[in-house]
């Protein structure tokens, strides 16, 4: 669906709230802090900005953010997990302003982490930017996944297949999907006014996933570390514009 400039301006406001949730949770994420505390910090930002949560109650989801440590890929429910030095933690945040959605995620180090963990975080963020650079009018959507996959695999890592990015607007998840790999065909043509959430999930080991008994938490099947970066991006005449920034 193509969004007009007024709609994109609202998504930009939602994106700014998401960016503020990132800043607040990043600052709060220290050894000894629980992931439930991070959810509270994120709720305070939503309240302060009079924004609604798109995560809370989504298919029964019980929190406003997802917190996924170490081998957890996505959709970790904030709770009693206590962060410790050496962890990596993925934090996924979303917000709604005047009916328009923002969605973005990042992975951070808790204190000092292994060289491999650091590299995983760097490469996953790089893969996101390589994907974003493909979001130009006239290109094919699956070029995004091709670019993401190339960066991740060149570093010796693998890209998750079962979870993908998505168009976003008046719902968090709109069609079409945005795979983080080349699915064998070019996909739809990208047009000015399209808005996508691009969100590579990159594993140190294999791409296979497993869902825990809580029905949400997705972990790597082989127990290897995983990172996740996401932005909401509008396609404009001047190229991609990231909306989930301060």
Contacts to ligand MF3 from residues 34-73, by CB under 6 A: 55, 58, 61, 66
From ligand MF3, Co ion, none, which one binds at residue 123 (CB under 5 to 8 Å depending on kind)?
none
Give 154-158 contacts, CB < 8 A, sequence gap 24+. Answer: 155/119, 155/123, 157/120, 157/123, 157/124, 157/202, 157/203, 157/204, 158/202, 158/203, 158/205, 158/206, 158/207
In the complex with Co ion, the residue whose CB is nearer, 34 or 170, is 170
Cβ atoms 45, 52 nearer than 8 A: no
Q: Tell me which of 7, 20, 103, 125 binds ligand MF3, using CB under 6 A.
A: 103
**Minimal distance, residue 59 CB to ligand MF3, in Å:** 6
The verdict on 106 binding ligand MF3 (CB under 6 A) reads no
**Contact pattern for ligand MF3 over residues 129 through 148, marking x by CB under 6 A:** --------------------
Q: Is 15 helix (H, G, I), strand (E, B) or coil?
A: helix
Q: Tell me which of 7, 20, 92, 143 binds ligand MF3, using CB under 6 A.
A: 92
Number of residues that bind ligand MF3 (CB under 6 A): 10
CA distance 51 to 35: 21
């Amino acid at each position: 669906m193509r969004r007009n400039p007024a709609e994109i301006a609202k998504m930009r406001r939602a994106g700014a709230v998401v960016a503020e949730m990132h800043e607040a949770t990043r600052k709060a994420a220290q050894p000894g802090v629980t992931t439930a505390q991070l959810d509270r910090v994120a709720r305070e930002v939503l309240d302060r900005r009079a924004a609604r949560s798109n995560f809370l109650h989504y298919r029964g989801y019980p929190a406003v953010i997802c917190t996924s440590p170490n081998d957890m890929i996505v959709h970790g429910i904030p709770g009693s997990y206590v962060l410790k030095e050496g962890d990596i933690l993925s934090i996924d945040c979303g917000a709604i302003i005047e009916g328009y959605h923002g969605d973005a995620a990042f992975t951070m180090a808790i204190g000092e982490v292994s060289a491999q963990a650091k590299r995983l975080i760097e490469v996953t963020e790089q893969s996101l930017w390589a994907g974003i650079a493909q979001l130009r009018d006239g290109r094919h959507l699956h070029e995004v996944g091709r670019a993401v996959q190339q960066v991740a695999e060149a570093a010796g890592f693998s890209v998750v297949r079962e979870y993908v990015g998505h168009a976003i607007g008046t719902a968090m998840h709109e069609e079409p999907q945005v795979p983080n790999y080349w699915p064998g065909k070019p996909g739809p043509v990208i047009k000015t006014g399209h808005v996508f959430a691009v969100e590579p999930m990159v594993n140190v080991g294999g791409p296979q996933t497993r869902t825990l008994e809580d029905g949400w938490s997705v972990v790597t099947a082989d127990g290897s570390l995983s990172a996740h970066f996401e932005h909401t991006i509008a396609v404009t005449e001047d190229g991609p514009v990231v909306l989930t920034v301060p």
